[in-house]
A and B are shown apart, each in its own frame.
Chain A
Amino acid sequence: MNIFSEIYGAYFRTAAKLLENEITDEKTVRETVQREGFRESVLFLPQKLIPNGEDWGLFSRTPDGKLKRITKASPVSVLTKLQEMWLKAKLSDPRIRLFIDDKTLSELNDRLADVSPLYKNEHFRFTDRFSDSDDFYNENYIKNFRIALDAVKKRKIVYIEFVSGHGKKMSGKFVMLKMEYSPKNDKFRAYCYLLRHDKIRNSGIINIGRITKIVDTGRIFRTPVSMEDYFSSRKCSSPAVIKVTTERNGVERFMLEFASYEKHTVRDLETGQYRVELWYDEQDETELLIRLLSFGPVIEILGPQSLREQAKLRIKMQAELIAEYGDEKDV
């Protein structure tokens, strides 16, 4: 029982897709391989599916040149024990209740009664997760989450009242685009556009936990929306440019911690130092800044100038605090 098994693999999946139809043809084989396989699968997989003496024998050639499957029925999607154990583990995750009501959850629990969970929550510990996570047990939160999720799925226009991060009461009509979850914050947020007179006014993100009222207006936003446009509207105009030195295993620590960012890295072969360009969402600039500062002198923010200035200001304030309160014998 291992997830690294051919039964879950791309080649088995492609073959299963093709075996759904009694008769197929070479063109469909190639198209399916292109869609379901890896980028180069079309070089390797069709010849194992199309009869040629070297194939797997899953299809035979018909007199009119088509391909006939050797199986009688469409393949069935049987859940493996591993998949059921994973599902069982998820039933104990409080977030499952955001998606499934209590009655259905209880039926699902009964169905999987004889299955052991793949893991228990107690097997893991999140060491640095923030403590103010969303309250996934709160009925009001669950209700708001479901309305927001439904609005995302159907691109509904919803009226929302919420409290901003600065404590201001806000309201408006929004079109919901996607949901975002952060394991660091253990919070859900919704990507959205604020509408004025049914036109996009600007992009936004709303914390589900800050919503005080959400109402379906019964209307659908029909203008096509591109997520790329949405993301680029929120992205920094120029990347943070960071010099990363090898001191205190800095390169590895930095690269791992910032692995989730889109980045471009260049290494100086002589010094072993890296120059890294990081792209980030503008509203996350402070979060990026404080994380960069936590690396101390191991890294240096080279640009953009505004980010470097913010770092400089904080460091100056810190130096002044040390001068005023620091214990001189420590230095």
Chain B
Amino acid sequence: MAGFSELIKNFDKTRDYVRDFFIYGCKVRSDFERKSIRTYGDEKRRVESWMGDYMRYDDSVHGRSVSISVDSGHIPENPLYNAYYSKSFTDNDIRLHFLITDVLNDGQSRTLKEITDTLNTEYAQLFDEQTVRNKLREYVEEGIIISEKNGKTLYYKLSEDRADDYINRYTGLDDALKFFSETQHFGIIGNSILKMLGLKNDLFFIKHNYMIHTLEDILIPEIISAINEKRHISFRTFSAKRSNDGDSSGTENQVVPMKILVSVQTGRRYLAAYIPGLRRFSAFRLDYMKTVKKGDTCEQYDEVKAKFDRNMEHCFGVSFGMRRETGTVTPMKITFFADEEKEHYIVERLEREKRCCKLEKSGEKLYTLTADVFDPNELMHWAKTFIGRIVRIEGGSDTVRKRFYCDIARMNRMYGGDEDEHIQ
């Protein structure tokens, strides 16, 4: 049996574990029923190694619980980036990395044969040409090495784009890197540049910081590439509910990708996409997605995209409701109480948070929000942040309105208010 390694081959598997530790903050070994004890132990050890001081242990009645407890607004670097810095490799990979770049360090172009010969004669490292060719090809793809054809012969040279040269030449870029390395999108890439330069973010903290999003970044370049090329994509989704029910096989999806939707309040990111089979738009949670693959070109992409853009005007969050393309949206009106003289900040809050809705003064100390949105449930989750000020709810579905009134009655009982004497 192979020994423990800090490095990993499969990012997806690790995503699951880190997410569970990080989000639930309370997982014991027995919760990971689908995995062997050894796998659990190795994954936990790896995460501990990456997370350093952020891991927290609690001895509970049902076994030792492991969690990651991070005040993400008060740390300068996302510790989850370490997951990306843990890719396993072969001995040849690391040898060739430093040897080939050293051979080409003088800026001269060389052929495959010259490089292989130099490795043998000057470094006493015997590699066959095929191995060196594969690594060169890989590094050309990565942009580390440039290949140029001269006649029929291919020449290789090291790229002249050096991180330190960029930093020295472009004033302010170091500070920009420090900032963007901790913010969306793809902060991990900025962090990788900082690491090359031996720099650290010592200037910025990020409030409302959902660090877990970085683990989903692995999927997004392929999705963006498919959007740019107007292609279908396929992927598998693994919802927490189905996994908990013992179904770990996931569901295969074939969609036309439209946009990445980012919620900066709920901690979720989604792929908004068109499902040709159902002829409707839907949003798929990125944290439930794995193995994105590009497929065929979508001939009607522009037409679908135009429809999508029109539909987005009626999305309060990410839900397209259960509405089909030909359906209708459900308008809803919510009236709030706000004394504009003394509580102007409430009116300001409504203005800045209303999104696609319309706000108008509808009476003395009354403001009415008109929401022409697909999913009134999303609207109501937000509206409940105004509990204590909601005067009236009109339109929407009966169920949604009823649920709100029932919720308030239940909360009133929960918090020991005088039982719903008026609400009978």
A residues touching B (Cβ–Cβ < 8 Å)? Answer: 1-13, 15-17, 19, 38-41, 44, 56-58, 70-73, 75-84, 86-87, 89-90, 93, 95-96, 98-101, 104, 107-108, 111, 118-119, 122-132, 149, 152-153, 165, 178-185, 191, 227, 231, 249, 251-253, 255-267, 269, 274, 276, 279, 281, 290-291, 293-297, 300-301, 308, 311-327, 330-331
Contacts of A119 in B (CB 8 A): 185-186, 220-221, 224
Interface pair B175/A99, CB less than 8 Å apart: yes
Q: How many Å lie between the Cα of A100 and that of B416 in the bound state?
A: 56
Interface pair B71/A262, CB less than 8 Å apart: yes
Interface pair A330/B259, CB less than 8 Å apart: no
A17: min CB distance to chain B, Å:
8
Chain B residue at minimum C-beta to C-beta distance from A187:
B207
Q: How many Å lie between the Cα of A89 and that of B58 in the bound state?
A: 43
> Counting CB contacts under 8 A, is B26 at the interface?
yes
Q: Which of A99, A266, A269, A276 has the most CB of B within 10 A?
A: A99
Interface pair A39/B48, CB less than 8 Å apart: yes
Chain A residue at minimum C-beta to C-beta distance from B413:
A297
Interface pair A319/B102, CB less than 8 Å apart: no
Interface pair B410/A128, CB less than 8 Å apart: no
Q: Tell whether A262 pairs with B6 under 8 Å between CB atoms, given A6-B87, A153-B203.
A: no
Residues in B299-347 with C-beta less than 8 Å from chain A: 312, 315, 317-318, 337, 345
> Counting CB contacts under 8 A, is B113 at the interface?
no
Not counting A11-B7, A40-B6, a sample of 8 additional A-B residue pairs whose C-beta atoms are within 8 angstroms of each other reads A4-B87, A70-B99, A77-B164, A82-B143, A181-B206, A184-B264, A259-B267, A323-B423
Contacts of B421 in A (CB 8 A): 323
Contacts of A9 in B (CB 8 A): 7, 85-87, 89
Interface pair B86/A10, CB less than 8 Å apart: yes
A81: min CB distance to chain B, Å:
3
Contacts of A319 in B (CB 8 A): 408-409, 412, 417, 420, 422-423
Q: Which of A1, A8, A70, A276 contacts B123 (CB 8 A)?
A: A70
Q: Tell whether A265 pairs with B24 under 8 Å between CB atoms, given A4-B87, A108-B173.
A: yes
Contacts of A182 in B (CB 8 A): 206-208
Interface pair A79/B172, CB less than 8 Å apart: no
For B178-219 the 0/1 string (1 means CB < 8 A from A) is: 011001111011101101111000011111111110000110
Interface pair B212/A315, CB less than 8 Å apart: no
A289: min CB distance to chain B, Å:
9
> Counting CB contacts under 8 A, is B161 at the interface?
yes
Contacts of B208 in A (CB 8 A): 182-185, 260
Interface pair A322/B423, CB less than 8 Å apart: yes
Interface pair A93/B180, CB less than 8 Å apart: yes
B4: min CB distance to chain A, Å:
8
Q: Which of B74, B142, B315, B402 has the most CB of A within 10 A?
A: B74
Q: Which of B45, B205, B421 has the most CB of A within 10 A?
A: B205
A48: min CB distance to chain B, Å:
8
Q: How many Å lie between the Cα of A276 and that of B69 in the bound state?
A: 12
Chain A residue at minimum C-beta to C-beta distance from B353:
A130
> Counting CB contacts under 8 A, is B253 at the interface?
no
Q: How many Å lie between the Cα of A108 and that of B173 in the bound state?
A: 10
A-B contact pairs, 29 of them (CB 8 A): A3-B188, A4-B11, A12-B89, A13-B85, A13-B196, A58-B95, A78-B144, A81-B143, A82-B189, A98-B176, A118-B186, A119-B220, A123-B227, A124-B260, A125-B260, A131-B352, A131-B353, A178-B203, A178-B205, A181-B206, A184-B207, A227-B74, A256-B268, A262-B70, A264-B58, A291-B385, A296-B384, A296-B407, A323-B423
